[in-house]
Structures are given as C-alpha cells and as structure tokens.
Amino acid sequence: MSDMKNSFSVSHVSQVFGTGTARVEALHDVSFEADAGSLSLIMGPSGSGKSTFLTIAGGLLTPTSGSVEVNGIKYTERSKKQRDALRLDAIGFVLQAYHLLPYLTVADQFKLVDKVKPTGNLSKSQLDDVLATLDIQNLVHKYPGELSGGQQQRVAIARALYPDPAIILADEPTAALDSARVEVVGALLKDLAVKHNKAVVVVTHDTRLMPFADHLYNMQDGWLSGAEAVAS
C-alpha cells in the first residue's frame, strides 16, 4: 500500500477452533487490505466466517496463523497496552451486539466515551450532525430498553463514530434497519470513507449496501475471494 496511515492488512490468516472431531477451520489463508478513502464490502451468508474475520482484523482475537497490520505495524509487534490504545484511538467497531449499557441514556453513552478517551472525539456540532443524519437526535434522553432494535443499532453506529476512528469495522450494521435507513447508513459510511479519509470495512449479507462499496469481496466457508472493483 502506498500510504500506511489509516490502513490495515490481513496476511495469510487462518483460524481454527477446537480439536479432534470438534475441530473447525473458520478461516482459510485469508489475505485482505484496506486503504483510507475506501469502503470495502465483504459479502457472505451467516456462518461463512465474516464475523471471525472482523474480530481478528480488529485485534480482538489472535489468529491461529498469519498476521494483521494496522498502519504498517503488526499486532504481534505491539504490546497489549499498545494494542488496547490502538483500538481505542484508531479503530471503531460496529458489532452485531449493540453493547449499549442499559443503565445509561443515549447521551450518557457518549459521555462514557469522553471519560475513557478525553480528547480527539467529535465536536458537539459534529456529533449533532451524525445524530441528525441517523435520525436519533430526539432519543438522547432515552435508555436502550426504550428503543427499538433499529434505533439501538443506529445509536451503536453513532457511538462507534464518536471517537473519530481512522478505521471503521462494521459487522452487519444494517441488519435491523429498513431500506430507507440502509440508504442513510450506507451513504454515511461512504461519506466517512471518501470525505474523511477513513478505511471502512463492512461484513454483511445485506445486498442493499452494494451500491455504496468501492471494493466488493465474497466470503464462503472461510474462503475470501479477491477484490472486485465496483463501478462508481
């Protein structure tokens, strides 16, 4: 890659779970790279290995073999403290489980981020823009239990974007959304990639996101196909 900043790559990664008759190879020799300014879509059915791939890409799981580099440095060359700092500062996760704290209002979910990462987050006006784009600005005083699944998903997306990460890894970010909301989220992710120079990677089986992708991959039974450029 020409520019190591805001980029990551996965090289010859395989992942095995269990042993003996319970042994399952979830990923087979997967290589992948993403650069700033692009939105990559990894398509595939449930159980194809997409979530395992994203967990490894984000440094939450160490692969059985192979390596992951972020901004040109391998995870294995970073201490645990450095890896934790990297995830906090540079990587935004949008996971299938929303991980919203049930005893905090929507507004307080963002205040908690401020406590963990006091600087470098979106300004109030920038956050207000994101909330308005996702149509959740009127939900800030509600608790997660008062929100629908789709509303919780949009709050989780906003919270992942709030620390202003350079790399965004999203796992089925539109699973609970209707088509109109999918358009909004797809356009937002594309905008973040192109206008804000972020590397955005989405794993999904939602074909409604395909029009927003710069690069399209397919994952099947733990095998990842090569990149396919998508016409703009």
How does DSSP assign the chain, residue by residue? ----TT-EEEEEEEEEES-GGG-EEEEEEEEEEE-TTEEEEEE--TTSSHHHHHHHHTTSS--SEEEEEETTEEGGGS-HHHHHHHHHHHEEEE-SS----TTS-HHHHHHHHHHHS-SSPPPHHHHHHHHHHTT-GGGTTS-GGGS-HHHHHHHHHHHHHTT--SEEEEESTTTT--HHHHHHHHHHHHHHHHHTT-EEEEEES-GGGGGG-SEEEEEETTEEPPPEEPP-
Task: Confirm or reject CATH 3.40.50.300 for domain 8-229, answering yes or no.
Answer: yes
Q: Quick one: average pLDDT of 79-108? A: 87
Query: Quick check: 7 pLDDT over 90?
Result: no
What mean pLDDT is predicted for residues 179-187? 92
* pLDDT of 39 higher than 60: yes
Q: Does 102 score more than 50 pLDDT? A: yes
pTM, two decimals, is 0.89
The residues spanned by each domain of the chain are 8-229
